[in-house]
Amino acid sequence: MQFKKWTIVGAAVTVVAVIAAFAVVVTPPLRVFRTTASMVAVAQGTNSISHAPEYDYASLNGADLASLALGAEANSNQVFAMEIDCGSDVATLLVFDKSNSNIITIATSTSINTVRQQGLKSHFVNSERFVAQFDVNAVGFLTGGFLTVAGRLNLDTNGCPRAVIIALDRDTKDTQLGDQDTAANTEQDGKSKDTALRTQRAGRAHFTGVLNVSNGGETNTVLIPFGHMIFRKQLDEINAG
């Protein structure tokens, strides 16, 4: 580990932080990205013959997360998405209604940590890897839980996450780190005529966590041992200031 090198960098960051404390604070905008997801969920089940406890598996996607948050089946406009600020300091996982831009928050970040990179052929820092922790809100059929999301995002010249054409969204470490694509056509807007949903990508991620799901007054703990998220085209930009 290059400890000396890292401590020098840390000292430089501290100096920058002191200078920034005297600067005018400008709240960065929030960008919303259509997000598709796939995961295997595991809940507590009971064997119908022996009545012994057993694993109850289910395959879920982003549309299922949207439906859980809505407390009803999501329509083609009510889609799973991620909202994140320029600088990647705060993020939310949400249901975004493409017909009216209404938002229902599924989970809110409690921490985001990033490392960034400038590609060999780029003249600016154009990507970041992150690990983010989210608390799940009590909304719809959800009563709580948490998610840990790790992945990468493309960045523009201002350090804001951005979507690029898939041919440019490449990272040789994706397979090794467990970041892989999910089928967009399994989601409720999968047959949309908007080709950007399938040709643009802001990044990839994998996640794990727990969802507490209410079912007729009884709350069930649903484990998410592993899942995938794909951040696709930008849906909106919100002025947070």
Q: Is residue 212 part of a domain?
A: yes
> How crowded is the C-beta side of 181, counted as CA atoms within 13 Å?
15
The string of pLDDT tens digits covering residues 147-179 is 999 999 999 999 999 999 999 998 999 989 988
What's the pLDDT score for residue 25? 52
Between strands 203-215 and 218-238, the pairing is antiparallel
- Whether 162 contacts 156, CB under 8 Å: yes
The string of pLDDT tens digits covering residues 102-153 is 999 999 999 999 999 998 888 999 999 999 999 999 999 999 999 999 999 9
The string of pLDDT tens digits covering residues 16-28 is 444 444 455 556 7
Q: What residues make up the domain containing 140?
A: 30-236
Distance (Å, rounded) from C-alpha 233 to C-alpha 34? 6
Q: Is residue 175 part of a domain?
A: yes
User: Which one, of 45, 69, 47, 66, lies nearest residue 57 by Cα?
Assistant: 45
Q: How many domains does the chain have?
A: 1
Q: Is residue 167 part of a domain?
A: yes
Q: Is residue 23 part of a domain?
A: no
Q: List, in sequence order, every beta strand (DSSP E) within the chain.
A: 30-46, 53-61, 78-85, 91-97, 103-117, 127-136, 142-154, 164-165, 200-201, 203-215, 218-238
pTM, rounded to two decimals? 0.86
Distance (Å, rounded) from C-alpha 70 to C-alpha 211? 15
Q: Is residue 12 part of a domain?
A: no
Q: Is residue 5 part of a domain?
A: no
Question: Does the pLDDT of residue 239 top 90, yes or no?
Answer: no
The string of pLDDT tens digits covering residues 180-216 is 887 666 787 777 888 888 899 999 999 999 999 997 7
Distance (Å, rounded) from C-alpha 97 to C-alpha 220? 27
Q: Is residue 241 part of a domain?
A: no
Q: Is residue 140 part of a domain?
A: yes
Distance (Å, rounded) from C-alpha 38 to C-alpha 41? 10
